[in-house]
Amino acid sequence: MASSVFSWFLPLSANVLEDMLLRNSGKVMRNRGKEDRSDFRSSSLQRLLWCYCHHHCPEDSTNHSCRTDGYCFSMVEEEDGGGLVFTSGCLGLVGSQFQCRDTGNSHQRRALMCCTEQDYCNLNLHPTLPPPKPYSYVDSSIQYMVLSVMVTICSIILTLLIIFCYWRYRHQDWQPQYSTALEEEDETYIAPGESLKDLMEQSQSSGSGSGLPLLVQRTIAKQIHMVTQIGKGRYGEVWMGRWRGEKVAVKVFFTTEEASWFRETEIYQTVLMRHENILGFIAADIKGTGSWTQLYLITDYHENGSLYDYLKTTTLDSRTMQRLAYSSVSGLCHLHTEIFGTQGKPAIAHRDLKSKNILVKKNGMCCIADLGLAVKFISDTNEVDIPTNTRVGTKRYMAPEVLDESLNRAHFQSYIMADMYSFGLILWEIAQRCVSGGIVEEYQLPYYDLVPTDPSYEDMREVVCNKRRRPSFPNRWSSDESLRQMRKLMSECWAHSPASRLTALRVKKTLAKMSECQDIKL
């Protein structure tokens, strides 16, 4: 715009330029503030002001110049098509003050600026349009009508949403465990002398293969007396409770973790799921009124707690180390294995395997727990059944392909191999607490020396994926045959490439062979 202004200014005659130079040397009346404006205007009656003109030049103008007893002005207007038109020229003294305050109307945007400081002062004026007023063309009554329609529509949508949520809550179509039969009959009769073991044996002999009948589960849940809280996690709390004098573990989920509760209940009640190395499921129930809800998952109680708790306080010999490892991988092997038949079991991947999710029984054997993130493989349709909950696994135990997001989510074997990476870290945790030569390390979590206490994805990705680091082996392991074999085993479990990792069945067979060799030596 500046270049065009100067190009318009070039045609000025020599006489005009001379006149400008004279005025610039001090012969031009200057504005000295608002208090001097009236004096200036009275003096302007004795002389005329030169102005630059463009698109608004009078007939007697020459070389884009005009003279006036009033103001020089520059103006910008917006055309109907959206283009801008710039105009400059002279305004007479009469009515000019009103015009200089005019900035357009509701149908056309316009900005005008005036000056009297010196000749051609409007060359330095660059008016800009004010921001457009949205919907200025809409009458206030129309605006009110539009707002009323929008409020009405939103109210209808909100009402329909509330009705749908209430209907969904009442029917619970997505929870096949709780059919209308439960509404008709709240509990079933359990003989006074029957224990949990008796009920489980009856269930097994009935051929259902998926735990206790639903009404029995609900009856047990109502009769449990909560004793003491024994744990707390991101999903909720764990309590030790009693049913007819027997200790049970009660996992109480937060209402925000309903998807995890449902998934874990569903997995535990899978046909042929019961196994000595998978936490024994007893019952599940939803308890509550209109104002509160509690989601219960009731399982066997193991006073030794998790493998994590056990290893922090207990040192191991070779036989105990192998028993913990073998029983853990036996549960994982059963989880991973698909059992074919009319009453078959799908293959299941855990997805959150860690020492805190493995429990230690009184006999020193382990069982796998916390199946809220598990995925199932539906072989009939070749599909992976992934839970809808938003929880993810534990960052410290995540496989490289999970950390760098290269895991193929449509391929079930990818989840199986990610479990095996995590299990390799668990083997390391177990082995470091095995005494050899009178020496044993303090319990530590995997990568304790490489990442912070609560590592981020970036921390783990840098160590595991970029640097390809793994937990280190103490020097003493080289002089102990059992620890040497365990080191080889865990290294093949946490290989960077998923295809290079051992399966749970192969680890189970290797550990069984290690135990046999040790028995022969003894």
Length of the chain: 522
Strand, helix or coil at 177? coil
Residue given tokens 């994805």 in the structure block: 457
Which residues, other chains included, contact 158 with Cβ-Cβ below 8 Å and sequence gap of 6+? Answer: none
Q: What are phi and psi of 31, to 5 degrees?
A: -80, 130
For 248, half-sphere exposure in the C-beta direction (CA atoms, 13 angstrom radius) is 27
Sheet containing 246-253, strands listed edge to edge, beginning at the edge strand earlier in sequence = 225-232, 236-243, 246-253, 293-300, 281-288
Opening angle at CA 92, ends 86 and 95, nearest 5? 95
Q: What is the CA radius of gyration of the chain?
A: 42
- What is the DSSP-derived secondary structure letter of residue 469? -
For helices 412-431 and 318-336, give the axis angle rounded to 10 degrees.
170
Q: Which residues pair with 251 in a beta bridge?
A: 238, 297
CA 167 from centroid of its chain's CA atoms: 29
Which three-class secondary structure state does DSSP give residue 493?
A: helix
Q: What angle do CA 442, 446, 450 make, to 5 degrees?
A: 100
Residue in 285, 300, 352, 480 annotated catalytic: 352
CA 443 to chain centre: 32
Task: For residue 247, count other CB atoms closer than 10 A to its CB.
Answer: 14
Burial of 80 (0-12, 13-18, 19+ CB in 10 A): exposed
Cβ atoms within 10 Å, residue 371: 26
- Residue 519 bears catalytic tag: no
Which residues are designated catalytic?
A: 352
